[in-house]
Amino acid sequence: MESRRFFHIFVAILSILFCSQTAATAFAAAVNKTSAAAAATPIVPAVILFGDSIVDPGNNNGIKTIVKCNFPPYGKDFIGHVPTGRFCNGRIPGDFIASSLGVKDTVPAYVGQNLKDEELLTGVSFASGASGYDPMTPAITSTISMPDQLGLFSQYKDKLRAIAGDAGADNIISESLFVVCAGSDDLANTYFIAPFRQAHYDIPSYVNLLVNSASDFIQKLHQMGARKIAYVGLPPIGCLPSQRTLGGGALRECVSTRNEAAALYNSKIAAELKRLGTNFEGTKLIYLDIYTIILDLVQRPSFYGFEVSNKGCCGTGEIEVSVLCNPKLPICTDDSKYVFWDSYHPTERAYKIIVDNLLQRYLKYLL
């Protein structure tokens, strides 16, 4: 029993770390109409992303970490069926956001890439799977910390200036959409699984640590020129397949304590962003609620055309993620019927639904 618990803890630390047909068709049509209009003329010059595996398109490929997914079956439904380092069977949120805004079809990783000028001009991702706001989170997994992601952004700005000149680079930065998505790994793994933080923090105090760190990140990002910032809240982490396995008992139910912690974080960071927004003149700083849509996907999968929402497509779907979701394992026969691809990350189809929901609700406040 103890060895099995150790195995689960080890696995969790590796984790990366976040209808009726008529209704579904109508919803898709509304978003597609917006996307088609955007495609004619890009709504923003670039999409730039920071955070964890939800928006990491392959930065971890270029660093020394075990948290990778640049191998099959990852990427089986991506362009060319290539495993790029995206923690998914296909495209991820950054790709859908950029394509919906008419910028480009996919957003590349920044680390370890020889990117052409056009790719740099239209945006990149600095996100690193298994990173977070707690400094201990990237330290455990040897991934790119949030402060180090800002350091990469500073390098990126220098490259923009070399390509577009000072005025051109400043305009790109001030008009681009910045997306920040992190925090799931902090709660799901560093706090609830790893034995390092619970002895010193109860849930409210740990949430405060995360909120303070996130606030500091946003303030520094603003100081570096960002003026349109979409801040992604936390999902109901207790309903992720891996968390159900590790904390949901024999029936693998959603873990209410973990969901409540995520909800507490969301309420506090939303209030902090509102406070910061009043001090950031000429800035659009918007909180994006993903908790609601993901919980709905989990609780009412059939409404969206899914059949399975309590486990992933890869392997047993209960614990496999990153190196444990590998070519030696079987996968489900139809991943379009699954909300989750592995034990932590949604499928491409689920991501598309999530992003469409967010754009429909929040895009007007960011432009």
Q: Where are the chain's structural domains?
A: 30-64+92-308+350-366
Q: What is the pLDDT of residue 4?
A: 45
Residue 11's pLDDT band (boundaries 50, 70, 90)?
Answer: very low
Active site residue 8: no
Residue 193 has pLDDT above 90, yes or no: yes
pLDDT for 247-285, tens place per residue? 999 999 999 999 999 999 999 999 999 999 999 999 999
Q: What is the pLDDT of residue 105?
A: 97
Name the token pair of 153. Answer: 């952004």
Strands annotated E in 193-303: 228-232, 284-288
Please state the rounded mean pLDDT for residues 111-137.
Answer: 97
Q: What is the pLDDT of residue 195?
A: 86
Residue 299 has pLDDT above 90, yes or no: yes
Please state the rounded mean pLDDT for residues 204-210.
Answer: 98
Helix, strand and coil percent figures for the chain, each rounded to 5: 55, 10, 40
Residue 13 has pLDDT above 90, yes or no: no
pLDDT for 141-177, tens place per residue? 999 999 999 999 999 999 999 999 999 999 999 999 9
Bond before 73 cis per omega within 30 degrees:
yes
Catalytic member of 309, 342, 343, 356:
342
Please state the rounded mean pLDDT for residues 176-182.
Answer: 98
Active site residue 345: yes
Give the residues across from 338 on adjacent strands: 308
**Cα(45)–Cα(257) distance, rounded to whole angstroms?**
41
Percent of the chain whose pLDDT exceeds 70:
89
Residue 239's pLDDT band (boundaries 50, 70, 90)?
Answer: very high
Give the residues across from 109 on adjacent strands: 125
331: helix, strand or coil: strand
Q: What is the pLDDT of residue 40?
A: 58
Catalytic member of 15, 53, 131, 213:
53
Catalytic member of 99, 131, 345, 356:
345
Please state the rounded mean pLDDT for residues 334-363.
Answer: 98
Q: What is the CATH number of domain 30-64+92-308+350-366?
A: 3.40.50.1110
225: helix, strand or coil: coil
Q: What is the pLDDT of residue 104?
A: 98
Active site residue 342: yes
Tell me the CA distances in angstroms from 260 to 31, 92, 238, 254, 265, one per residue in order.
31, 26, 8, 11, 9
Please say whether the beta carbons of 12 and 188 come within 8 A: yes
Place of tokens 């968390």: 243
Which has the higher per-residue pLDDT, 175 or 14?
175
51: helix, strand or coil: strand
Amino acid (1-letter code) at residue 85 = G
Tell me the CA distances in angstroms from 54 to 21, 106, 119, 183, one per residue in order.
28, 14, 20, 11
Tell me the CA distances in angstroms from 148 to 21, 128, 188, 259, one per residue in order.
45, 10, 22, 29
**Phi, psi of 131, rounded to the nearest 5 degrees:** -90, 175
DSSP characters over 298-367: HH-GGGGT-SEEEEESBTTSSS--GGGS-TTS-B-S-GGGEEESSSSSB-HHHHHHHHHHHHHHHHHHH-
Tell me the CA distances in angstroms from 316 to 146, 184, 320, one per residue in order.
32, 22, 7
Q: What is the pLDDT of residue 3?
A: 45
pLDDT for 82-106, tens place per residue? 999 999 999 999 999 999 999 999 9
Which has the higher per-residue pLDDT, 335 or 26?
335
User: What is the CB-side half-sphere exposure of residue 277 using CA atoms within 13 A?
Assistant: 16
